Structure 1
């Protein structure tokens, strides 16, 4: 397959042709990768069974891993969901458009191929201008997981979408204005108590301010449900995700002990002739003098860490790192979302010091 690659330029007449092209592809059952405020997504017509099958095939994604349906109008909630509870309307008022996905009981029009065979549907309304315009102009609901090979770090730059999906999808829209860097928060509203199935930029504390009682799924607290037979309601709950090519290990504890341990591990790997990466923050970067050291951002502002996490993991792939050691982060607020991704990327390899 020849993949069309188009760059958003800001020139209205040029960009209008890109949206027109993308719309035709989506309406005909094809696939388009596009930027959102969280990460790049790989989109297909959510009500077209064959388009959803193509998404799974292009990514190499297990077909029981549900897709998120992206909409351009909040009224579309009523067209996709059997019922829209008051909790959904409150979250929509507070956070839509934005980096939040809500799970509701689905209508018959949403095929099981899109929902991973579940009777619920995950719905999100992105605020990124490219995503919003593409969905609106296409006239279809867009099922879209992240635009990467399944299991790899989600892409926040077009070059990584091209690396993973060139030749596998019809079109890639490049516009590197992704500003959050991790996928949306997912909240299950299909049961009595609202429950977070995937932490993200919209934090548990923010959700509780709007809804009052909100729980976090035990599988999220445990890190995964890899060994269970539970049907995953949210993308990525049951499968290894975000993994770089290198062996990634998280080191957790007080900052002095963590730095000492990482430096010891790095020295041993370097003595063996390996290429080693270190993930730290602006506050601690001075502690590391060996290996390939990268700051993820400010520990005092974990949103900056979230924004850079996947890009740094991909950068270590680019330079051929064989081992990566990362500092741990707080398991609250946006740090909870960062740790959720890091733990999955590391395959639960954590050293406590």
Structure 2
């Protein structure tokens, strides 16, 4: 494994059918040539990712969108004008050039243009769209720094180091319908913002399929128990517990370790720090983690979506 900033070397690896981890504004991705099925298969193998979970394809220009899409949809251009480069993935019918391994056999593909200089340079120099899920073991905490990738994926040939990601949680994912769009996964861009461009439609039975990554109930999980609002702070022994705090709670001094999502209670700051807080807790010697809930407004909806999935395996209601 190498970590560096050599775009030319990273692009050559992609063209040669190898994997490269690279930064986006959301999280680090584990990328391969989207038109090389053998290279894409390496993503599933390295991540230990189930074959039913589709990948998002990253582009650097709208001509690449035309290669990936079965139909030319003017709404993509309208959305791109407003939100790309940026944390929005658009699910459309795929072209015949897109292998079934990328889409897990579905007839749709998720496409986005990342808002990160290194990511866009890599895609441009590789001269191909890049299929890339988050650069972590399947179901584990998503990476927002290069060392997060290195800690989980020691076999990846090269990691482009772009520092801390600026958004911190995965992209919003929408699926286009004839009469509008459906939000499949919440992120930094809200349904209300998208509704200013195209109308929101009702979720169909087909939308219940996994047309997007990140839809499984248990995801983004640390290797230690994580609880949200299910611990009685007055009764529990917190001397060897960690707290992921919202604001500056007065009970923080009862915990062995504290990670602050946003001392000033800013949801955007909480999104940036969420996965780093989980990584730091996982690397610490605490026995379990307690997370304060974040108000579910704006990007706070996406933060709570990630927290609930990270805590799902340990919820008392599941026991």
SS of aligned partner of 1:286:
coil
3-state SS of the aligned residue for 1:210? coil
Aligned to 1:14: none
The DSSP-based 3-state class of the residue aligned with 2:89 is: strand
Residue 299 of structure 1: how far off its partner (Å): 6.3
Partner of 1:315: 280
Does the CA-based 8 Å contact 1:197-1:217 persist in structure 2? no
- CA distance in structure 1 between the partners assigned to 2:280 and 2:15 by the alignment: 35
Tell me the TM-score normalized by structure 2. 0.92
- Residue 184 of structure 2 is matched in structure 1 by 197
- 1:20-62 CA distance string (max 9 Å, x none): 1111110111000011100100000011111111000010101
Structure 1 residues 338 and 150: alpha-carbon distance in aligned structure 2, compared to 1, 3 A threshold: same
Residue pair 1:219, 1:237 contacting (<8 A) in 2 also: no
Partner of 1:42: 30
The alpha carbon displacement at 1:263 in A equals 2.5
Structure 1 runs, 4 residues or longer, greater than 6 Å off: 216-220
Question: Does residue 1:286 correspond to 2:250, yes or no?
Answer: yes
The C-alpha deviation readout for 1:63-92, integer Å capped at 9, x for no partner, is 110000000002221111011323322211
Query: Match of 1:75, SS?
Result: helix
Q: Which residue of 2 aligns with 1:264?
A: 234
Q: Measure, in 2, the Cα distance between the counterparts of 1:348 and 1:165.
A: 23
Determine whether 1:235 maps to 2:213: yes
Q: Specify whether residues 340 and 216 from structure 1 end up closer, same or farther in structure 2 by C-alpha distance, changes over 3 A only.
A: farther
Tell me the distance in 1 between the aligned counterparts of 2:13 and 2:228: 42
Q: Does 1:113 align with 2:101?
A: yes
- Which aligned pairs between 1:288-303 and structure 2 lie closer than 5 A? 288-291=252-255, 292-298=257-263, 300-303=265-268
What secondary structure is seen at the aligned counterpart in 2 of 1:66? coil
In the TM superposition, residue 239 of structure 1 has moved relative to its aligned partner by 5.4
Change (3 A) 1:191 1:115: farther
Match of 1:333?
298
What is the CA distance between 1:331 and its match in structure 2? Answer: 2.6
> What corresponds to 2:224 in structure 1?
246
Moved more, 68-77 or 204-213: 204-213
Q: State the Cα distance separating 1:107 from its structure 2 match.
A: 0.3
Shift of 1:114: 0.6
What displacement does 1:300 show? 4.0
SS of the residue aligned with 1:346?
A: helix
C-alpha distance in 2, partners of 1:247/1:31? Answer: 31
Aligned-pair CA distance for 1:298 = 4.8
Q: Is the 8 A contact 2:90 2:111 kept in 1?
A: yes
Instruction: Provide the TM-score with structure 1 as the length reference.
Output: 0.84
SS in 2 for 1:277: strand
Stretches of structure 1 lacking an aligned partner (at least 5 in a row): 9-17, 221-229, 253-260
Alignment of 1:1-353 (within 5 A): 3-6=1-4, 8=5, 18-166=6-154, 168-190=155-177, 192-214=179-201, 231-238=209-216, 240-251=218-229, 262-264=232-234, 267-270=236-239, 275-282=240-247, 284-291=248-255, 292-298=257-263, 300-347=265-312
